[in-house]
Amino acid sequence: MTEGEPAASIPTNRWDSEPSKREEAKGFIPGKQYQSPFLQLKLHGPPMTSNLKQVWFPGPLIVGAGPSGIATAACLKERGVPYLILEKETCFAPSWKLRTYERLKLHLPKQYCELPLMAFPPEFPTYPTKQQFISYLDAYVERFAIKPLFGMAVRVAEYDPSVRFWRVEAGDLEFICRWLIVATGENAEVVWPEIRGISRFRGQLLHTSCYMKGDDHRGEKVLVVGSGNSGMEVALDLCDNDAKVSMVVRDKATLLVLLNSFKFRLWQLHILPRELLGISTFGLSMALLKWLPVKAVDALLLFGTRLLLGDTEKYGIKRPAIGPLELKSAAGKTPVLDIGTFAKIKSGQIKVVPDINQFTSRGAEFADGEHEEFDSIILATGYKSNVTSWLKCHILTAASPWTSPSNAKKQIGTFFMQTYESHVKGFGLADTFACGKEEEFFGEKDGFPRTSFPNSWRGKNGLYAAGFTRRGLLGASMDACKIAEDIANLWSRRYQA
């Protein structure tokens, strides 16, 4: 394997063969310059969990093979940096392949959803379907020969300051690497709301991640809980398939956000038409923001929306006190881009209902005291990051046998240390490592980087985040380019010197 080649998909049992033979086969010569991106080490220092085999990988390790992970991999490959991707599922982009409904189309025009280095085929429509997007992703991984290790859920990753490397546990391996790229997504886990009586409901209860098509609910009475882009589209899909749909627009009037030192009252939902004057609302906003302040763009968007959709409040959908773009940048709340659901609300085919007090065995009781029976309840309550469940934040303590470089040297043996030291020299670690405190990068509560866009992609100690900008695929692509450039600079300092 040469530099720049992607990490091959390696069945774990290959690590069981004799280490010296294997390294020889891959061209690794101890004491010489780097030859192979893979190296299983005979470390004497304990892995984070015993009985794990330790594998040193000199390039960046990417966690997650969704759009963000594969985009970063492609950019690294383009710059000649070997990488390794660990993916917990058995396919690329499982959130698209396994957890999205059939009628899903990209919410934004295709030019804002392309990954770096490869355009969508010209015949794709402005809003590609889910199947088209998946076929694009398949072509992308083929073109860049991206081969993750599948079925490798990262259980723990932590930075070891004594050797200045990351230790990442997955399967029966502990990977040791210099750079860790978190690409596990903003939507790694479903949000299951805490609503009284939820376990009492005897009908079908499912999250949108398990919803496939409206036809499965034909003729049913269905309650959709949540009114983001997914909730709105699922409600429309159900309605188009002759289900009787009610939708909860949860009233968050009490939610407060601190913005420019003032407290604003927020209502829950900004609904905008997907297109204004035949131009995508998203594209129009991007263009206007180049010339006008955000408040002025918001005012124009709301004026256009009022002309096209009318007064949404009349139909139970109140607008937040601040505009859609200002709200997005202050609280990360994405406006809903309407693709026809609002017309169904106006015509009474979709009923907007208030927040739920409690579920009952046959339906739901609402905040206004009304009770209604339903066959199915679909929770369009969103997703959350899972980073805090596996990225460990503590710095190793004095009890750790790896607490000082000299101790580490004793513990891990000369073979690893030769290679490790050449890395330390080559990368000028004193300059590039700010030791400790990587826990400050990801917030404990939401598992998102604490620093906001455009500075959310790089932490300390070789830690990076791809796809946590709250700006969809466009943000993921921007992260991928910046991360690859940053790592490639460090990489070339070492290997092209």
Ligand X SMILES: Cc1cc2nc3c(=O)[nH]c(=O)nc-3n(C[C@H](O)[C@H](O)[C@H](O)COP(=O)(O)OP(=O)(O)OC[C@H]3O[C@@H](n4cnc5c(N)ncnc54)[C@H](O)[C@@H]3O)c2cc1C
Alpha carbons 224 and 5: distance in angstroms, whole number = 47
Residues 172-201 that bind ligand X (CB under 6 A): 183-185, 187-188
Q: Taking contact as CB under 6 A, which single stretch among the options 15-23, 106-114, 268-276, 293-301 is the one that binds ligand X?
A: 106-114
Question: Among residues 189 and 355, whose Cβ is nearest to ligand X?
Answer: 189
Q: Taking contact as CB under 6 A, which single stretch among the options 307-315, 333-341, 421-429, 466-474 is the one that binds ligand X?
A: 466-474
CB of 487 to ligand X, least distance (A): 18
Query: Under the criterion CB under 6 A, does residue 280 sit at the interface with ligand X?
Result: no
Query: Under the criterion CB under 6 A, does residue 132 sit at the interface with ligand X?
Result: no
- In this chain, which residue has its C-beta nearest to ligand X? 66
CB of 166 to ligand X, least distance (A): 14
Residue 39 phi, psi dihedral angles, 5° rounding: -155, 120
Alpha carbons 272 and 108: distance in angstroms, whole number = 13
Question: Among residues 84 and 322, whose Cβ is nearest to ligand X?
Answer: 84
| Nearest C-alpha neighbor of 453 from the set 441, 471, 437 | 471
Q: Taking contact as CB under 6 A, which single stretch among the options 105-113, 217-225, 247-255, 407-415 is the one that binds ligand X?
A: 105-113
Query: Under the criterion CB under 6 A, does residue 66 sit at the interface with ligand X?
Result: yes
How far are the Cα atoms of 165, 255, 368, 463 from residue 177, in angstroms, in the given order?
5, 42, 56, 11
| Nearest C-alpha neighbor of 68 from the set 7, 12, 1, 148 | 148
Asked if residue 494 lies in contact with residue 431, where contact means CB atoms within 8 angstroms, the answer is no
Query: Under the criterion CB under 6 A, does residue 396 sit at the interface with ligand X?
Result: no
Q: Which of 120, 166, 390, 416 binds ligand X (CB under 6 A)?
A: 390
Query: Under the criterion CB under 6 A, does residue 137 sit at the interface with ligand X?
Result: no
To the nearest 10 degrees (0 to 180), the angle between helices 472-495 and 414-427 is: 110
Rama region for 145: left / alpha / beta (φ>0; ψ in -120 to 50; rest)? left
What letter would DSSP give residue 27?
A: T
CA angle 364, 370, 371 (to 5 degrees): 35
Query: Under the criterion CB under 6 A, does residue 467 sit at the interface with ligand X?
Result: yes
Size of the site for ligand X (CB under 6 A): 36
Question: Among residues 228 and 401, whose Cβ is nearest to ligand X?
Answer: 228
How far are the Cα atoms of 200, 266, 289, 470, 471 from residue 322, in angstroms, in the given order?
38, 7, 16, 18, 19
Tell the residue number behind the tokens 């009628």, with chain if given: 103
Q: Which of 48, 153, 191, 257 binds ligand X (CB under 6 A)?
A: 153
Query: Under the criterion CB under 6 A, does residue 80 sit at the interface with ligand X?
Result: no
| Nearest C-alpha neighbor of 344 from the set 227, 250, 253 | 227
Point out which residues bind ligand X (CB under 6 A). 63-69, 86-89, 93-96, 100, 104, 106-108, 113, 153-154, 183-185, 187-188, 230, 386, 390, 467, 472-474, 476
